[in-house]
Amino acid sequence: MSWDAAETYLQKLRQKGQFAVFQLPRRTAFVQVMRTSNGSLVVEASEGGGNIELLLQRMGTVSRNELGLVTVLSEAGNDATCAEVIAQTIGVLATSSGCENVCRVRIGAQ
């Protein structure tokens, strides 16, 4: 996935609770993003590891949530950087999963 394609999906997330799930062919390899009330994005990756965590650090402090997902909260107005990092993270996940870098994207709201 290219960063401009990822950015197109992020632009659709305008209100709190709207989300996008970027799903790779391997069901356990994904990145999900959700808009918060202040306009920032919560980005969660299904797998961690050196390269993925380094990529996500460009957006903020990386941690693991209660489900074991690697997570980061971006600053509001930082969607272009988030799109670039998401696209790169999907590429790393595809390589580590041994699958194509082809995503199915689902958009919805809580």
pLDDT in tens, 9-55: 999 999 999 999 999 998 899 999 999 999 999 999 998 877 899 99
Give bridge partners of residue 23 from the DSSP assignment: 30, 104
Q: Token pair 């997570």 is at which residue?
A: 71
DSSP assignment of 66-84 equals TTS-EEEEPPTT-HHHHHH
Give the CATH fold of the 3-109 domain: Aspartate Aminotransferase, domain 1 (3.90.1150)
pTM, 2 dp? 0.92
Please state, in angstroms and rounded to a whole number, the distance separating the CA atoms of residues 84 and 4: 8
Q: According to the model, what pLDDT value does residue 53 have?
A: 93
The per-residue pLDDT for range 56-108, each reduced to its tens digit, is 999 999 999 999 999 999 999 989 999 999 999 999 999 988 888 888 999 99
